[in-house]
């Protein structure tokens, strides 16, 4: 039973009487909202101040403990704590006796038991797995040597997946910085304006702004690279003009969303017939928060016949996919050579390629301004939602298509790296091995 593995602690939220219990740094305060797919929880939405920590000092959980959400429809999620932390009352945590058990092994075992934990909690509107019932959950454990050997295999896969995710996040940050510089701050345009006012070479100034290099460094560039940079700088205007969006580069258009969309793709507004094999059905949860690439490891599939008859239109490579209900505004791009179906609450967008580049649109639709415009048009009922007709009224910046295409080509090495494909393969290997290693069907020595 879990109570034999180590001490079990149910978390607690600071009393409202504690002044300044939360802060922007300090002791991580873990809630189910922080259980967003990470294996390790190191950063959280909120932290406890010293006052908050003192008020809950008896609830402080040491690092390497295993925390499990135990209330609500999404209960049963397991995570590892990277730092000493406090959880709220919706989480039970096992402080594993590391002399007898490997905490990561306990995490892996519990990660396979989400459905079992839900069934123990019962089928009420708000299922709860209290500390007493949680403590009595039975799991089978080999001796610690075998636990350590199995963890070594699974942990190596997870570490590589996490490293790939970090690489992807860094590359994505570089792409976002470039978009902001070119299309929000208009750095190349402002550099040209400043150079003109000072009687300097405006094109050279724009080249410095685009490349991040000094004039001396530009002189050291290869002729081909210099010529390419020079041609890009020449495309940027040297003047800002007033528009519906405020100051924008002269010659760049402001257009309605409806003017650049070629086709909308959705389903019938209800769930199609589901099966375990076939074409992946993307739901809102499969749309990433900070990545171009959707999670293709879906648990729901549709048959080819359903795909051909149920959906009004089919997604194509480079179509954008946007969540429109509940968690609104998550975006990704349909990858090459993939056939995908979409559930309700998701809208596919195919843009007019002579007007906008899909990669450019991905970043514009992820910008703060676009998201604010979406928020202003939300329909609030049981769940927030954005309708197609409301999207169509949003004003967008439409730069020279040549600049958009150059931007897309420059960021492709960042956002379309092989790390995502490799991670997907590693995830599939890990998920296939996990239950077999834990059950003893596959032995570590045979790998």
Q: Cα separation of 287 and 334, whole Å?
A: 11
pLDDT top residue among 272 and 361: 361
**Are 307 and 314 within 8 A, CB to CB?**
yes
Integer CA distances (angstroms), 172 to 63, 286, 370, in order: 30, 18, 19
pLDDT, tens digit (0-9, with 9 covering 90-100), for 148-186:
988 898 899 889 888 888 887 888 888 899 999 999 999
Residue 335 has a pLDDT of 83
Identify the DSSP state of 21.
Answer: -
Q: Where are the beta strands (DSSP E) in 74-153?
A: 78-81, 86-87, 91-96
Q: Is the pLDDT of residue 343 over 90?
A: no
Q: What is the share, in percent, of the chain residues with pLDDT greater than 90? A: 40
β-bridge mates for residue 10, sequence order: 92
pLDDT, tens digit (0-9, with 9 covering 90-100), for 380-393:
776 788 888 999 99
β-bridge mates for residue 351, sequence order: 261
Residue 80 has a pLDDT of 94
Find the range with the poorest average confidence among 98-102, 116-120, 202-206, 333-337.
116-120
Residue 283 has a pLDDT of 86
Q: Cα separation of 132 and 396, whole Å?
A: 56
Find the range with the poorest average confidence among 69-73, 218-222, 254-258, 341-345.
69-73
Alpha carbon 386 to its chain's center? 20
pLDDT top residue among 265 and 443: 265
How sure is the predictor about 282, in pLDDT bands with cuts at 50, 70 and 90? confident
Q: Which DSSP string corresponds to 207-258?
A: HHHHH---HHHHHTS-HHHHHHHHHHHHHS-S-EEEETTEEEETT-EEEEGG
pLDDT (average), residues 86-93? 90
Residue 356 has a pLDDT of 96
Nearest to 106, CA basis, from 74, 133, 144, 132? 144
Q: Cα separation of 218 and 230, whole Å?
A: 10
Pair type for strands 253-256 and 246-249: unpaired
pLDDT, tens digit (0-9, with 9 covering 90-100), for 358-374:
999 999 999 989 989 99
CA-based diameter of the chain, in Å?
79
Q: Cα separation of 288 and 329, whole Å?
A: 10
């Amino acid at each position: 039973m879990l109570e034999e593995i180590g001490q079990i602690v149910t978390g607690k939220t600071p009393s409202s009487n504690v002044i300044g219990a939360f802060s922007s740094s300090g002791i991580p305060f873990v809630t189910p909202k922080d259980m967003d797919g990470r294996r390790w929880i190191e950063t959280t939405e909120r932290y406890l101040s010293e006052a908050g920590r003192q008020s809950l000092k008896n609830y402080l959980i040491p690092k390497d403990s295993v925390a499990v959400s135990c209330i609500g429809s999404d209960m049963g999620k397991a995570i590892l704590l990277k730092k000493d932390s406090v959880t709220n009352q919706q989480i039970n945590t096992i402080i594993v006796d590391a002399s007898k058990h490997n905490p990561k092994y306990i995490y892996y075992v519990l990660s396979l038991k989400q459905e079992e934990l839900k069934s123990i909690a019962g089928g009420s509107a708000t299922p709860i797995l209290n500390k007493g019932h949680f403590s009595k959950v039975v799991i089978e454990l080999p001796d610690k040597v075998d636990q350590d050997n199995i963890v070594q295999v699974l942990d190596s896969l997870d570490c590589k997946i996490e490293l790939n995710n970090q690489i992807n996040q860094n590359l994505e940050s570089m792409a976002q910085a470039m978009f902001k510089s070119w299309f929000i701050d208009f750095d190349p345009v402002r550099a040209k304006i400043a150079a003109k006012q000072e009687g300097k070479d405006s094109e050279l100034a724009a080249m410095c702004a685009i490349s991040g290099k000094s004039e001396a460094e530009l002189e050291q560039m290869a002729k081909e690279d210099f010529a390419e940079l020079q041609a890009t700088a020449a495309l940027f205007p040297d003047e800002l003009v007033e528009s519906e969006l405020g100051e924008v580069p002269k010659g760049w258009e402001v257009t309605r969303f409806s003017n650049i969309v070629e086709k909308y793709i959705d389903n019938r507004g209800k769930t199609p017939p589901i099966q375990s094999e076939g074409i992946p059905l993307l739901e809102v949860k499969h749309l990433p928060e900070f990545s171009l690439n959707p999670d293709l490891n879906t648990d729901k599939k549709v048959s080819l016949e359903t795909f051909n008859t149920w959906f009004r239109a089919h997604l194509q490579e480079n179509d954008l996919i946007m969540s429109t209900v509940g968690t609104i505004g998550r975006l990704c791009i349909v990858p090459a050579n993939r056939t995908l179906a979409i559930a309700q609450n998701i809208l596919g967008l195919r843009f007019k390629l002579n007007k906008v580049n899909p990669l450019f649109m991905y970043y514009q639709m992820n910008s703060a301004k676009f998201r604010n415009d979406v928020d202003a048009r939300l329909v609030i009922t049981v769940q927030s939602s954005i309708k197609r007709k409301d999207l169509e009224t949003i004003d967008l910046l439409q730069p020279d298509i040549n600049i958009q295409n150059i931007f897309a080509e420059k960021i492709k090495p960042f956002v379309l790296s092989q790390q995502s494909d490799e991670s997907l393969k590693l995830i599939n290997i890990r998920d296939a091995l996990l239950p077999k290693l834990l059950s003893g069907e596959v032995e570590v020595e045979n790998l």
